[in-house]
Structure formats: structure tokens, C-alpha cells
Amino acid sequence: MAKIKHKFGTTYYEKKGRKNKTPIVCLHGGPGGTSKNLRPMLELSDERQVYIYDQIGGGKSSEIEQKLWKIETFVEELDILIKEWGLDEFYLMGGSWGTTLALEYYLRKKNNKIKGLIFQSPMFSAKDWQRDANDLIAKLPKKTKKVISFCHQIGATDSKVYKEAMMEYYSRHVFRNKKKLLERSAKNTNEHGEKVYMHMWGPSEFMATGTLKKYTRVKDLGKISIPTLFICGFYDEARPSTAKKYVAKIKDARLSVIKGASHAILSERPKEMLKVVKKFLD
């Protein structure tokens, strides 16, 4: 990985491929996540340059002050990187929170260098996300539902029973391999990124209590005027039914649902997702 120093600190990134076709810039989830799970995207480097990076405040990039834990920081960081990389045109892809960042960058910067957008498991409305989560929680075992509800009521989201309930939800709708999910959780080395996540989002994927809890950009989706691809997993916490509503608001947009996958599509069904992305880019 290489690094770029800028006004917020240092951003670590990885670039692979040659300038045969329009490059693609990929944004990871979070906030406060890392680009580790985006590495399968580098397989597209046989035809074009692929860029992945750890957003400032998480992963191998610099820690930042709490006052910078906001959308504006990440939009500005991305703009700095695009300029440093010298990209004349590119595709922009985001997963989960990365879709929020990609949309914000597109709307705020009005960058005509972007040739297409890819939104994997989108979060464009915290209210929509919470409603979908509530519907999915309602289908969990009775005991698990009780634990989640009680812990939310008394603020015990750091308890062992809450974390166990989280794993039950995550193993259905975030990453459908419980053994690997538990291994990843145990090996978490991104503690500073977790603080950003907690501040901006909340204690779990299905509980928005942070600065993004009232976030919405649904009314602005109609401003997108370039080809757009939505991708969701069949079991995704970002439900395909909600993504369909977003697709309907964009003139040139389409949705692809990956069978057998939940939220972590690149970890669960990388070949299937890369095939869909490649077809869109071609």
C-alpha cells in the first residue's frame, strides 16, 4: 500500500492495473471501516486501474480528531485523493456507508469526471435503513428479539447478551458464515475506526444513534444523470425492495440481486458480484 499526506493526516491506498480503460475508485463501508474487504475488486485490474483506500480515521490511515468525524471530511479526503491520483475520468463505487459517501461526493462536487456510479447495499436514508432492520429483527427468534429490545431500552448495548444477539442478526443479514464472522470479530484491530463508527452510526448495524441517525438523501437521487448500478444481496440488511425504490428515482439505473448473499457480498459471492460489475463497466 502507498500513502498520501494531506491536511487531515495520512491516507493509505492501494492501486493496481494499467490505464487501458476508465479506472474505478472503490469506497468501503463503515464509517470507520477499512478497505480489506474490497480487495476482490483488484481482480478487475486486468483491464483497468482499481483504487481502494482506508478512509481517514480507520484502518491503516491516520486517526483524526472527533470534530472531523463528519461527512464533509470524507468527501474532502476523496476529492484530495482524486486530484493526487490525477484521474481525468473514473467510475465511483461504494459499499454500505461507501454508497453514502459516493452519493455525497457526486452531489456536492458535481464532478463531471465520474462516468458511472455503483451502489452496493445502499444507505441513503437512516429511516429506511432502520425500518428494514426492524422488519428483519421481527423475524429473529423470540428470545433474540427480547434481548435486543431490552438492551436498547436500558442502554446495555455493550453487554455480552446484546453482542450475541448482534451475531445472530449479522449471521443472517451481514455475513452468512457465522464461523468466519466470529473470527473476524475476535481479530478486530481497528479500534480507532470503531470509535468513528459508534459516533457517526451507533452500537450496531440495526441501531442508528449517531450523527447519521436522521440522514436522508432520497429526494436528491433524481439529480443523478449518469449510468448507475445498484447491487444487493438476496438476504441483505440493505433490502432489495428498498433499493428498487431508489432505482425508480434515477433515470438510468438498474438493480442486480446476488443470490445467496447478504451484506458482505464481496466476501460471500465475489465472482458473482465481479461479473455484474464488469458487465456494467463494459
Active-site residues, by number, are 96, 236, 263
Q: Which positions ≥6 away from 174 have C-beta within 8 Å?
A: 181, 205, 237, 262, 263, 264
Phi, psi angles (nearest 5°) of residue 108: -80, -40
* HSE, side-chain direction, 13 A CA sphere, residue 149: 10
Q: Walk across the sheet containing 114-120 and list its strands.
A: 2-6, 9-16, 48-53, 21-27, 90-95, 114-120, 228-233, 253-258
Other CB atoms within 10 Å distance of the CB of residue 225: 11
Q: For the CA atoms of 153, 189, 267, 169, what is the dihedral angle to 10 degrees?
A: -10
Spatial distance between the Cα atoms of 268 and 224, rounded to a whole number of angstroms: 29
Phi, psi angles (nearest 5°) of residue 152: -65, -40
